[in-house]
Structure 1
Amino acid sequence: MPDTTPDNPLKRFDITADQINHVVTAFYAQIRRHATLGPIFANHIAATDWPEHEDKIARFWRNAILREKSYNGNPMREHLTRPDVKAEHFPMWLDLFHQVLHEQLPDHLALSWAALADRIGEGFRAGIVSMRQPKDQPPKLF
């Protein structure tokens, strides 16, 4: 349920933009060192482009959590257009994201953000499975 504090009656839970930015930076530092996910990200983000990417993703999360309306993009399309991004990568991504959330935030914030990330990540995973599946096959529901 959204927090109804006077400063932002639409935000999902009580977290600051600075906390979101910090988590995103910490997370992508871990991504770059991850044995499986690091090389995939490196295929698409040049070393000099990480600050721009982190800013874009922080805006995505600030939009999703704080309802800032600061993000303009289509993350599903971004993932679908990269054939090396596979459905099996999303559980790894989420595991690492959960780890960073719990390292960087108080438990109640980590759990709230993790629940939202799980819903979004599962949507991306399911979308990739569905959109990449041959049209003449029955749907995969897992």
Structure 2
Amino acid sequence: MIPPRFDLTEEQLEQVIRVFYAAIRRHEVLGPVFARHVTNWPAHEAKIAGFWKNAILHQPGYDGNPMQVHMAAGDVRPEHFALWLALFDETLDRLLPAATARAWSALAHRIGNGMRMGVEDIRRKQDRPPVLR
């Protein structure tokens, strides 16, 4: 069995997901975007928890392609990722020990920046080079 990337329990992970998505639903910018795409919040939260359990705890079971989903949504904008990450960081800082929050935040930022670049790239004019920052 592969050890977790960092010190985090399954219970802590699930609490972060619950609290974070409650905050997402109340967020003035992100809430409406998510509301257009998420019709079953418990199922969405379970799927996202599965993603993080796979990424952090190395638990099998996640089946999905977050990049494809975000690019296909049509109304996800590059600037949404900074808002998402800031809200996620607030949740991590509030619920987890500092070292665990920093480690999960670093992973989330790496993934989020990759998805932001993918969304930017699909929206760029085809005669322009990709944005790599």
TM-score bin (small chain)? over 0.9
Shift of 1:39: 0.3
Alignment correspondent of 2:71: 80
CA distance in 2, matches of 1:139, 1:60: 27
Structure 2 residue aligned with 1:43: 36
Residues 46-78 of structure 1, C-alpha deviation per residue, up to 9 Å, x if partnerless?
2xx100000000000010001112201000000
2:46 aligns with 55
Find the partner of 1:9 among 2, 26, 29. Answer: 2
Tell me how far 1:18 sits from its aligned partner.
Answer: 1.1
Identity %: 50
- 2:93 partner amino acid: H
TM-aligned CA deviation for residue 9 of structure 1: 3.2
Can you list the C-alpha shifts for 1:75-96, whole angstroms capped at 9, x where unaligned?
A: 0000001111011100000000
Q: Select which of 90, 94, 99 maps to 1:99.
A: 90
Which structure ranks higher in relative contact order (CA pairs < 8 Å, sequence separation ≥ 6)?
2
Following superposition of structure 1 onto structure 2, how do residues 87-126 of structure 1 map, counting pairs within 5 Å?
A: 87-126=78-117
| RMSD between aligned residues | 1.1
Please state if 1:29 is matched with 2:22: yes
| Aligned residue-pair number | 133
Separation in structure 1 between the aligned mates of residue 101 and residue 131 of structure 2, nearest angstrom: 31
CA contact (8 A) 2:54 2:60 kept: yes
> Which letter maps to 1:82?
A
- Structure 1's unaligned 5+ residue stretches are 1-7
Residues 2 and 58, structure 2, Cα contact 8 Å, conserved in 1: no
Give the TM-score of the pair, scaled to structure 1.
0.90
Q: Which has the larger radius of gyration?
A: 1
In structure 2, list runs of 5 or more residues that go unmatched. Answer: none
TM-score w.r.t. structure 2 length?
Answer: 0.95
Bigger helix share: 2
